[in-house]
Amino acid sequence: MEKLRNLLLLVGLPLATIHGVLVKDAVGFQYPEFARIFFWHFPCPIMATFLLSAGAFFSLKYIQTRDMSWDVRANSANELAMIFIALTMISGIFFSRIQWGAYWQNDPRQTSFLLVTTIYASYFVMRTAYSDPDKRALNAAAFALMAFLPFMFLTFVFPRLPQIENNHPNGTIMKGNLKGGYATVTIEIMILVSILTHWVYRLRSRAGILELKVNNYGDLQNTSGPTTDTPVVRRISVSD
Amino acid sequence: MNSSWSSWKSEIVAVLKKEWQSESRSMSGIMTTALICFVSVIIVNSITWTTTINAMIGAGLYWMILVFAASVSLPRTFLQEEENRTADFWRLVARPEAVYWGKALFNIVQMLVATLIVSILFVIMVKVEVRNYLIFALTGLSGAISIASTATIAGAIASTASNRYVLSAAMSVPLLVFVVNLGITGTAWSFGEILTSGEKTPIAMFAYSIATCLIGPVVYSKIWKS
């Protein structure tokens, strides 16, 4: 399974990129050749949205179970989401400059994503304020649940409010306006980015859980099979 | 049912009474909030007195004053409990939801007073013309409830942190940005800005305030014993 995933990513990502370059230009763009940035821009907010939702779910699981591994999962999901938010913003800013003439257009979706960034930036700032891991995990989980509400409003409601004028088209895919080669490349890259995201998320959360186990070495000894007969004791000296 | 409701009511009222009694000793919280609102409006007035500000900018300044006044003063209700080491007392005598509701109600009243002060001063000093008083009032009312309930839970979350005062403000402002955004739309509409469906903004703000009021006690009850 891992080999298949590695092969897919190693071969699939370059092939999908080449396919994206070779596909016929899209109509309705000022510079159609640069509109291909869409292939990489589009999966980023979707991945970020999915990861932030997963982060909120893991936070809820932590609150219910008080199992630290859920906190690690929530933190990993939110960290990865921040990377995708940054990629969304960067690719969006370039797209905006090329197609709409300015790096920042005050577009509602640009603005709402920036607001989501500030909310989750404060999540990470909050985590640094607690030295006790249990308090950190619990309060971070509570904040993540509180942040989920404005996040949902900002992502799904705010850009669609009737008084909001939007440069981003609404419902392009739902209306079937994404067709032909563009649709194929979008789906290809979407699948590959999803696989990549899942892989990176698993790596990050597994590393976090391992770190947790190393920090709680005593607990690990009690719960995970045979232990050494003699505990490791290090000499310490206190200087005058 | 009745006894359950009356026990809830007595716990919430007890928290509310305690808040009012401790506030009435020095009036520090209310005075601070009023001072922040007053000074902020004067600053806005002093930088705009030679110029006429349009409805959108006026609404933006109005909400900026409210949200910063709230983020500084409202989380105080929970932060003080930790500072005075009285939080454990509440853990013994009341349910978490009742504590949250008592403090949130106190903050809502405080925020309504602040909104009233800012609104009167703003209309008089910044010279913005209110074209629709009903929408202006409803936007302020729903915004005050949303801001108070969000700032309350932000204060509760930050209350055990080392840098709790700074952290609570840093946490509540991003959570309030969406409310502020809606508030600006509704207030700008009431100032005469032509915005599609601007008059419906208070409905969205009321929906948001109900959602925060419902989620707040649930989240607080989970962090209560930490």
Transcribe A9-29 into DSSP letters. Answer: HHHHHHHHHHHHHHSPPPSS-
Over residues B196-218, the pLDDT tens digits come to: 777 788 888 888 889 888 888 88
Over residues A118-127, the pLDDT tens digits come to: 899 989 988 8
Which of A59, A106, A120, A161 to mutate: most B Cβ within 10 Å? A161
pTM of the model: 0.78
Proportion of chain B above pLDDT 90, given as a percent:
14
d(Cα B184, Cα B202) in Å, to the nearest integer? 11
Cβ neighbours for A207, distance < 8 A, ≥ 6 positions apart: none
Over residues B20-73, the pLDDT tens digits come to: 888 888 777 788 888 888 888 888 888 877 787 888 889 999 999 998 888 877
What is the distance in angstroms between the Cα of B180 and the nearest Cα belonging to chain A? 11
Over residues B72-105, the pLDDT tens digits come to: 777 777 777 777 778 778 878 788 888 889 989 9
DSSP codes joined into one string, chain B: -HHHHHHHHHHHHHHHHHHHHHHHHH-HHHHHHHHHHHHHHHHHHHHHTTSPPPHHHHHHHHHHHHHHHHHHHTTHHHHHHHHTT-HHHHHHHS-HHHHHHHHHHHHHHHHHHHHHHHHHHHHHHS-PPPS-HHHHHHHHHHHHHHHHHHHHHHHHHHTTSTTHHHHHHHHHHHHHHHHHHHHHHHHHHHTT---TTGGGHHHHHHHHHHHHHHHHHHHHHHHTT-
Task: Indicate if the pLDDT at residue B142 is higher than 80.
Answer: yes
The answer to whether the Cβ–Cβ distance between B157 and A126 falls below 8 Å is: yes
Which domain covers residue B64, as residue numbers?
2-223
- Which range is least confidently modeled, A61-70, A174-183, A215-224? A215-224
Query: What is the reported pLDDT for B226?
Result: 58
Which of B57, B173, B175, B180 to mutate: most A Cβ within 10 Å? B175
The answer to whether the Cβ–Cβ distance between B178 and A134 falls below 8 Å is: no
CA B203 to chain centre: 18
Domain residue extents for chain A? 8-23+34-162+178-216
CA angle B198, B139, A169 (to 5 degrees): 35
d(Cα A97, Cα B156) in Å, to the nearest integer? 42
Q: Bigger pLDDT: A142 or B82?
A: A142
Task: Indicate if the pLDDT at residue A77 is higher than 90.
Answer: yes
Query: What is the reported pLDDT for A231?
Result: 55
The answer to whether the Cβ–Cβ distance between B219 and A146 falls below 8 Å is: yes
Q: Number of A:B CB contacts under 8 A?
A: 93
